[in-house]
Structure 1
Amino acid sequence: MSNSYVSERPAGADAPAPSVTGWSGVVIFAGIMMLCLGVFQVTEGGVALYHEEYYLVTSSGSLLQMDYAAWGWTHLLFGLVSLAAGAGVLLGKLWARIIGVLIAFLGALLHFLFLAAAPVWCTILIGMDVLIITALCTHGRDVRRS
């Protein structure tokens, strides 16, 4: 009979668990916001593809001088990428955090361009984009641990 002790604890179980910070809530917020953005973009893309008269705003023409099919497909693809990235952020995936940072950066850049048109709203959105970028870059792994 052997006196060897077989531990049922996994290797490294004596090491303390990494601490989860309050930032995991902000990372979850970022993931949920990306999911919402994805739903909005997919809806906007579908409307542009199947009911393009919806975006006609003047009697003399349209708001934008571009092909609604191209606009619809662009929004549809962007929405699907946002949906996938939002779900990935909630699962703690690195690739999703990278895409999330890119989406938030593009959002902040776009809001900066429209700062003169709506200064208060764009400032709020830029601040939210910076918060999302900070949360995803510095505390994105916290979601996986929680």
Structure 2
Amino acid sequence: MTNYSDPLPPIPEAGARGTSGWVGWVAFAGFMLVLMGTFSVMNGLTAIFREETLRVRKDNLALPADYTTWGWIHIIIGIVVILAGLGCFAGKVWARTVGVVVALITATLNIFYLVATPFLSAGLIFLAFICCLALTVHGSEIRPEGR
């Protein structure tokens, strides 16, 4: 039987048993994943509802597709990225794995969408690679002690 009054185990700090300063980078990657997902969702909503604000016609995109299609792709990927970022804060292995995969998908997606939103896409590509680095190098260090 589970006692729900037990406090959650604390997330280890840098220097705690088996951890290093990279714990902060993993937490940063989780935060950046949430931020990247939020930007992707906003980018998708813009593509669906305000496509006239984008820089080029849909025919000039690297992968010509309707902006509504691009919008839904951005929204779906953005939601998955947000969930992976939230899971990284809990130290879940699945969240780190999904976080790396969707960060790479986001980077690839934004390479094809670069001409429509150049600064946002370039920023998301950069953040995706930083997140991949932090999650793959020392991702396991954010797990609470005893797990």
Does TM, normalized by the shorter one, top 0.5?
Answer: yes
How far apart are the structure 2 equivalents of 1:110 and 1:50?
A: 19
Instruction: Mark the structure with the bigger radius of gyration.
Output: 1
Q: 1:31 maps to which residue?
A: 30
How far residue 111 of structure 1 moved from its aligned partner, in angstroms, is 8.6
Give structure 1 regions of 4+ aligned residues with deviation exceeding 4 angstroms. 106-114
Q: 1:96 maps to which residue?
A: 95
Q: 1:140 maps to which residue?
A: 139
How far residue 132 of structure 1 moved from its aligned partner, in angstroms, is 3.4
Query: How big is each residue's C-alpha offset from its partner over 1:89-135, in whole Å with a ceiling of 9 and x where there is no partner?
Result: 11111111001222344466679999xxxxxx89x938x72x53343
How far apart are the structure 2 equivalents of 1:110 and 1:66?
A: 13
Aligned residues of 1:111 and 1:125 also touching (Cα < 8 A): no
Query: How big is each residue's C-alpha offset from its partner over 1:39-95, in whole Å with a ceiling of 9 and x where there is no partner?
Result: 1000000111112222254xxx44433211100000000110110011111111111
- The DSSP-based 3-state class of the residue aligned with 2:19 is coil
Q: 2:43 maps to which residue?
A: 44
Q: Structure 1: which 5+ runs fail to align?
A: 1-16, 115-120
Aligned residues of 2:103 and 2:132 also touching (Cα < 8 A): yes
Aligned residues of 1:34 and 1:100 also touching (Cα < 8 A): yes
Matched, 1:68 2:67: yes
Cα RMSD, aligned residues only: 3.2
TM-score normalized with structure 2 length: 0.64
Q: Structure 2: which 5+ runs fail to align?
A: 1-15, 115-121
CA 1:45 to 1:99, structure 2 compared with 1: closer, same or farther past 3 Å? same
- The DSSP-based 3-state class of the residue aligned with 1:20 is coil
Aligned residues of 2:80 and 2:102 also touching (Cα < 8 A): no
TM-score normalized with structure 1 length: 0.65
What is the aligned residue count?
118
How far apart are the structure 2 equivalents of 1:30 and 1:109?
A: 18
How far residue 20 of structure 1 moved from its aligned partner, in angstroms, is 2.1
